């Protein structure tokens, strides 16, 4: 059975216009990435995970994750931590920043997160996990979602025990990435677990893991009964994959389209992070955009070695001169940065590109 990926669905009182969700990814899901995802068909976009401890201590870089543009909605801002009270306070901050949904991370497998008792570790501590969800749901008026893995160890079925408990505690939707924390991103996502979770809960379930094409998205939705699919790594430097999944449109862009999207992404990232941070942050994206045979391999190395983003843009336009018109059109469609919500408690330097 074919699922209409353009059909809207609901997370409580928030309407999601397509059945594709752009995943929260650390070091990737900056505002420029999210806005691009919305343009290419993502019905819901998510911030990278935000430390509740960083918000509690008003860390300037952490607060910088809470800039929200009007073309991002609906937007989920993801928070992580292990203390219910601190997580509840962080949830209130992200809602003030403009989040339509507060997403809680119970899935991160990275050691520096799990060693603090946060992320995937909480799947082995269901009482604390439920206390966090209960505290967050009680602190905000927007829906609360939870992203989780199958469990810590290979073969774990913890998600099927903890998931219904999280819903009872106040989660309005669950996202399951059915790999273990130990697996990281190796092996295959076991979506038979996703199907079991769908049967156990009465809230929408989002299927995450190995969604790389329209055919795969359709197969997972049909087999699991999930409300939507979440796309992560497949969208890195490749927003056209989102359009292919949602609409079935040809996924391979022209060289001019690639250059234009990368130029806009570079400029938007500089506006968000500032030139100094953006230079290093963007280097991984050059390989993602320019790979897949789109540009000669040495070209990516050339861009990585350039000292400024202006030099990168100049070189891209020299390689694809007709991209200039596409850039002009894309930038004309972007909303005014002045429309972003600014929190009074945020350091002003964040919004000056610092």
Report the catalytic residues: 108
Q: Is 105 helix (H, G, I), strand (E, B) or coil?
A: strand
Q: Is 196 helix (H, G, I), strand (E, B) or coil?
A: helix
| Token pair belonging to 264 | 């806009």
DSSP-derived secondary structure for 239-287: THHHHHHHH-------HHHHHHHHHHHHHHHHHHH-HHHHHHHTHHHHH
For residues 175 and 230, what is the distance between their CA atoms, to the nearest angstrom? Answer: 8
Query: Is the previous residue joined to 74 through a cis bond, with omega within 30 degrees of 0?
Result: yes
Strand (E) positions, the chain?
9-11, 14-16, 20-22, 44-46, 50-51, 75-80, 101-106, 144-151, 173-180, 205-208, 228-231
Nearest to 238 by CA among 97, 28, 9: 28
For residues 350 and 295, what is the distance between their CA atoms, to the nearest angstrom? Answer: 34
């Amino acid at each position: 059975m074919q699922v209409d990926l353009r059909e809207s669905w609901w997370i409580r009182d928030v309407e999601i216009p397509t059945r594709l969700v752009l995943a929260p990814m650390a070091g990737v899901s900056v505002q420029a990435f999210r806005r691009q995802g919305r343009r290419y068909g993502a019905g819901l976009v998510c911030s990278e995970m935000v430390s509740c401890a960083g918000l509690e201590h008003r860390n300037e870089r952490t607060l910088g994750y809470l800039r929200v543009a009007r073309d991002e909605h609906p937007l989920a801002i993801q928070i992580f931590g292990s203390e219910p009270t601190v997580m509840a306070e962080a949830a209130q901050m992200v809602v003030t920043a403009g989040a339509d949904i507060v997403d809680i991370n119970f899935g991160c497998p990275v050691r520096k997160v799990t060693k603090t008792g946060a992320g995937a570790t909480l799947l082995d501590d269901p009482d604390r996990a439920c206390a966090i969800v209960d505290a967050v749901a009680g602190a905000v008026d927007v829906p609360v979602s939870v992203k989780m893995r199958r469990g810590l160890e290979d073969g774990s079925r913890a998600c099927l025990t903890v998931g219904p408990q999280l819903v009872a505690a106040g989660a309005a939707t669950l996202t399951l990435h059915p790999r273990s924390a130990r697996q990281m991103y190796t092996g295959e996502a076991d979506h038979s677990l996703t199907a079991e979770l769908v049967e156990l809960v009465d809230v929408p379930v989002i299927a995450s893991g190995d969604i790389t094409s329209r055919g795969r998205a359709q197969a997972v939705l049909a087999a699991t009964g999930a409300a939507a699919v979440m796309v992560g790594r497949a969208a890195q430097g490749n927003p056209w994959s989102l359009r292919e999944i949602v609409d079935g449109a040809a996924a391979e862009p022209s060289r001019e389209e690639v250059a234009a999207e990368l130029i806009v992404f570079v400029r938007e990232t500089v506006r968000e992070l500032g030139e100094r941070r953006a230079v290093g942050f963007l280097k991984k994206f050059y390989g993602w955009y320019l790979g897949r045979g789109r540009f000669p391999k040495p070209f990516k190395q050339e861009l990585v070695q350039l000292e400024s983003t202006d030099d990168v843009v100049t070189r891209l336009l020299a390689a694809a001169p007709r991209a200039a018109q596409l850039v002009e059109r894309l930038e004309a469609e972007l909303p005014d940065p002045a429309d972003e919500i600014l929190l009074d408690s945020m350091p002003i330097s964040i919004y000056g590109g610092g």
